[in-house]
Amino acid sequence: MTVFLTVLKIIGIVLLSILGFLLVLVLLLLFWPFFYSVEAAKTEEITAKAKVSWLLHIVVVEVIWQNGLNKRLKLFGIPVYDQKRKEAKAAAKAEKEKKKAEAAKAKEDKKKTDAPQEIKEDLSADKEETPPADGHTDTEQPELPEAKENESEVAGSSPEEENATPDEKDTPETIAEKDAAKGKKKKPKSFDGFLDWLEKKWDQFMDFLDRAPDKLADWLEYLPDKAEELIGTIEYYDRLLNSEGTEWVINYVKDHGGKLLLHVLPYRTDGTLDYCDDDPGNVARIYEYQALALPLIDKICGRRGQFDILALQDEKKVHLTVKTKGRLFLIYLAWHGGCLVLNKKVKAFLKRLKREEE
């Protein structure tokens, strides 16, 4: 009995440990922030890097763009997954298999070519061992005149073609050049041709005038239907916005959606822009744009961030670097997202929208 109770005690301790670990992990995921950063630079090439870290950089996910996209995952600083390294290993493995296949194919081809040579050697040895019956040896036979004539007909050309100069021969290249030269020659324009063109354009214009009343009538028939559709759309949105509960739903979504958006946005952004141009007017225009966009830049950069712009008159170039940082709490996202999705009035409003659209 004591052994059974001891086993149950051990099993209970293990289960409680697992449940406690899962509970701690869930609480850490909800209340420990996820830090993210984005770095981008444009010099000769565009490079970018996005990183998300959690729990004192124990878990790090990186997405890098530099001569291609690369994704990496690190646990406790140890690379667990690297897309480029994985692709390089796969390419090396494929190359190795390809070389093996080529070597095997070359070996088979060599065997096939060696076999006929061995057969030929055996046949030639047999011929040398067996002399001819009449006792005469093989001598070279003179070429027949008919064969020579055929060869001259196939390989050579006629005497007229041989005596012809290079200018007299019409090769495909010269024929193509002559045709192109003929195509390039423009026909001289005459006054009669101009009159024909003018008459053609006048006929087209008169045809357009003949068709214009019919087109205008079609458009006038279509216009009332379009205006009625527009009036119906305006009345629909007016009835929807003035219906009971619509104003409350809009303000509710604006409140929670705005808080969610402000939480997601980065809290600091730093950047530099080095702009050079030969035209002094373009350089002055950059500073004008900076003055106009200064309030927006201050809001984007945050309290501690800054964006420096340097414009000079020099050889044309643009160097841009941007680095932004932010953090996310899953509990905050879950709270505001749940308020938007699970609210009864918002769900009823969305159902009513779908019903009216149908």
Relative to beta strand 59-65, strand 317-328 is unpaired
Q: What is the pLDDT of residues 267-302, one digit of tens each?
A: 899 999 999 988 888 888 888 888 888 888 888 888
Residue 322 near residue 274, CB atoms below 8 Å: no
- Tell which wins on pLDDT, 245 or 65: 65
120-134, 211-225, 249-263, 275-289: range with lowest mean pLDDT: 120-134
- Phi/psi at 73 (nearest 5 deg)? -130, 130
3-class secondary-structure state, position 173 = helix
Q: What is the pLDDT of residues 88-105, one digit of tens each?
A: 888 899 999 999 888 888
Q: Is 269 exposed, middle or buried (0-12, 13-18, 19+ CB in 10 A)?
A: buried
Residue from 237, 192, 209 nearest 357 by CA? 237
Angle at Cα 313 formed by Cα 307 and Cα 315, nearest 5°?
A: 100
Q: What's the CA gap between 9 and 32, in Å, rounded? A: 33
Q: What is the pLDDT of residues 153-211, one digit of tens each?
A: 434 444 444 444 444 445 555 555 655 555 444 445 566 777 788 888 888 888 887 88
Q: Tell whether the model's pLDDT for residue 142 goes beyond 50.
A: no
Q: Tell whether the model's pLDDT for residue 265 goes beyond 50.
A: yes
Helix, strand, coil in percent for the chain, rounding step 5: 65, 20, 20
Tell me the residue type at 245: G
